[in-house]
Amino acid sequence: MDALRHVNNTAYFRYFEEARVRLFSAMGLDAGSGRYGVLAHASCDFLRPLMYPARVVVGMKLARIGRTSLELDCWIADAEDAGVLHARGRNVLVCADAATGRPQPWTDADRQALERCFAP
């Protein structure tokens, strides 16, 4: 937190990171699978400060899926008032082979897992 009790801006990126980790876990995409997601882009628009201490809700929406990448629209709200956004972000992730580090296409199973994770 800063001198005004605002949650530090780097924490917002950690919140987005935790959401991505949970997404990949739900998809079965982890070190054991031989593939992983690499963050290629992260941005955050800080809309209003979160006051420390805060419990947050992080939301994600699958904006686009390409051959080897996907784009997520993300947002952060205070759990006490989830209708008010405190930040909005964008993440681009690339599927990579753990052995080579090279991009790898999303499989049909990956796409089906994404559909399950982002089903309404």
pLDDT at 54: 87
**How do residues 49-91 score in pLDDT, each as one tens digit?**
999 888 999 999 999 999 999 999 999 999 999 899 999 999 9
Distance of CA 14 to the CA centre of its chain: 9
Residue 32, pLDDT above cutoff 80:
no
What does pTM read for this prediction? 0.90
Measured in degrees and rounded to the nearest 5, phi and psi for residue 4 equal -95, 10
* Structure letter (DSSP) for residue 13: H
pLDDT at 4: 83
Residue 120, pLDDT above cutoff 80:
no
Sheet containing 35-46: give its strands across.
35-46, 81-97, 69-78, 56-65
How high is the mean pLDDT of the chain? Answer: 93
Radius of gyration of the chain (CA): 15
Indicate the CATH number of 9-117 among 3.40.50.800, 3.10.129.10, 2.60.40.420, 3.30.1330.10.
3.10.129.10
CA angle 119, 111, 96 (to 5 degrees): 130
CA-wise closest residue to 94 among 61, 69, 66: 69
Residue 12, pLDDT above cutoff 90:
yes
Q: Specify the residue for token string 């947050």.
A: 56
Give percent of the chain with pLDDT exceeding 70: 99
pLDDT at 2: 78
The mean pLDDT of 22-46, rounded to a whole number, is 89
CA-wise closest residue to 62 among 19, 18, 107: 19
Q: For the chain, where are the alpha helices, taking DSSP H only?
A: 9-27, 108-117
